[in-house]
Amino acid sequence: MSSPGISQNLSFLLEGFKVTIQLTALCTALSLPLGALVGLARAAPIKLLRVAGTAYVEFLRNIPPLILLFFFFFGLPSTGVTIDDFECGVLALTLYTSAFVAEIVRAGIAAVERGQVDAVRSLGFGYFGALRYVVLPQALAMALPAMGNVIVGIVKNTALVASIGVTDLMHQGEVLESHTFATFSTFTTVALLYLALIVPMSSAVAVLDRRRMRKVR
C-alpha cells in the first residue's frame, strides 16, 4: 500500500480521534441533563409540559440526524446566525440525542410502580419528595444501561459531522484516503479506532444489563 510515513498517517487520524472524543464528551454532558429535563416534563402533572415534551421527543427522534446537521450548518446562516462547524455538530447531536434520553427517563419513571408512589404520598411526601426519594433513584438505576447505549449511539453519530467539515476521525479518514488511495487500510484503521472507543462501553452496558435482568427476576 502506498502509505508513506505510516506514523504520519496514524497521527493524522489520531487528531481526528481526539475531535471525536471531544464531541462525544460534550454531547453526552449536554444531552443527558437536557434529555432528563424533557423526560421529567413528559411525566409532569401539567398537560402543557407533557405535550411540549412529547412534541419535542417525537419530532427529533423521527428525523435523520444528518438533516439537523445540515440545517444548522447550511440553513441557519441565511437568518444571519452563523455557528462554528464544531458547535453545529454539538448542537445537532445534543438535540437529537436528548430526545432519546428523554424517552428513557420517561419510561424509567413510568416503570416505577404506581403503588410505591401512592404509598409514599400517603405517608406525607409531596410530589417532588416522592420524585426525589422514590421514583428517580429507581428510574435512574433502570436507565443506566440504556444510558450506556445512548453514549455508544453518540459516538456512532459523531461520524456524520464529517459531512459538515468537522475534522473528526471519519473526516480525517476520508481526506487521508483521497490522498493515498489506500482505501482499505485507511478505513480499517478508522474502524479499529472506533471499536477501541465503543467496544469497552458496550461491554460495560451488556454487563450492567445482565445484572439488571437478574435483579428484575
Q: How far is the CB of 124 from another protein (least distance, A)?
A: 25
Nearer to another protein, 58 or 126 (CB): 58
67 near another protein (CB under 8 A): yes
Minimum separation from the CB atom of position 119 to another protein (A)? 16
Work out the end-to-end distance of the chain between its first and last CA atoms, rounded to an integer number of angstroms.
Answer: 54
Is 46 or 216 the residue whose CB approaches another protein more closely?
216
Q: Indicate whether 118 belongs to the interface with another protein (CB under 8 A).
A: no
Q: Determine which residue in the list 74, 119, 129, 211 makes contact with another protein, applying CB under 8 A.
A: 74
- Is the CB of residue 143 less than 8 Å from the CB of residue 108? yes
Least distance in Å: CB of 84 to another protein? 9
Out of 78, 122, 123, 128, point to the residue binding another protein (CB under 8 A): 78
- Provide, rounded to whole angstroms, the least separation between the CB of residue 107 and another protein: 7
Q: Which range, of 3-11, 37-45, 101-109, 122-130, touches another protein by CB under 8 A?
A: 101-109
Rounded Cα–Cα distance for residues 129 and 131 (Å):
5
CB half-sphere exposure, 106, CA atoms < 13 A: 22
Cα angle, residue 31 at apex, residues 139 and 199 outer, rounded to 5°:
80
Tell the smallest beta-carbon distance from residue 47 to another protein (Å): 20
Answer whether 176's CB lies under 8 Å from 186's CB.
yes
Residue 17 near another protein by CB under 8 A: no
26: exposed, middle or buried (C-beta count within 10 Å: 0-12, 13-18, 19+)?
middle
Q: Are 123 and 28 in contact (CB under 8 A)?
A: no
Binding to another protein, residues 151-210 (CB under 8 A): 152-160, 162-165, 167, 170-171, 173-175, 178-179, 181, 183-184, 187, 190-191, 194-195, 198-199, 202, 205, 209
